[in-house]
Structure 1
Amino acid sequence: MAEHKIYSFAFGDIYDAYVAKAERKERTESEVRELIQWMTGYDDDGLDEVRADGTTMREFFEKAPALNPARELVTGSICGVKIQELENPLMKLIRQLDKVIDELAKGKAMEKIKRSNA
């Protein structure tokens, strides 16, 4: 079976789409960065590097310094797909990141998005 094409998309392009989505809903790029860093462990320099160097989504998650265990608390549906039912670990990571950005754009509080009270 062919690999899903999102795995080969440049992270920088996806990042730009996340920022645009957030900003359309009166949220900020710094909030998008905070969520990505919370989930993956990238620092500012590392995030800037993978945005600029053509890193693919697959490579972005493979290189992630410290995936946050709390990301497993990110459940629900994104694009009609239930995150908790995904078997492919990479697709699950991508959908979890999509979900937290979606929650940000919908106005959810940062503490709740990060599952701080879970």
Structure 2
Amino acid sequence: MTYVVVENCIKCKYMDCVEVCPVDCFYEGDNMLAIHPDECIDCGVCEPECPAEAIKPDSEPGLDKWLKLNADMAKSWPNITIKRDAPADAKEFDGKPGKFEAYFTDKPGEGD
């Protein structure tokens, strides 16, 4: 099992999860994070830390698309281990439907 970052992270990109991850398995895109599935140790400490509830165990049904996206993006995005502030407009996008189609980009973030 691994944990997966899902759609609600897009344009919210809270980084509370990054701060608590004991194995630094988060990778930063321009407007969301991803978890490297081979590095995640399934400890689960990140899931309750996400204010957007955008981290799920891969055992939940319907997450195949997100598991693949996390695995693919973790290969090209930089590692992130230090929490930074969320975007100023993050709360406006929290829970907004259709974020993947409207806002997802595979552009990498800054990383550490």
Same fold, judged at TM 0.5 (above) = no
Per the normalisation by structure 1, the TM-score is 0.24
Higher relative contact order (CA closer than 8 Å, sequence separation 6+): 2
Normalized per residue, the structure richer in helix is 1
**TM-score normalised by L of structure 2:** 0.25
- Structure with the higher strand share, 1 or 2: 2
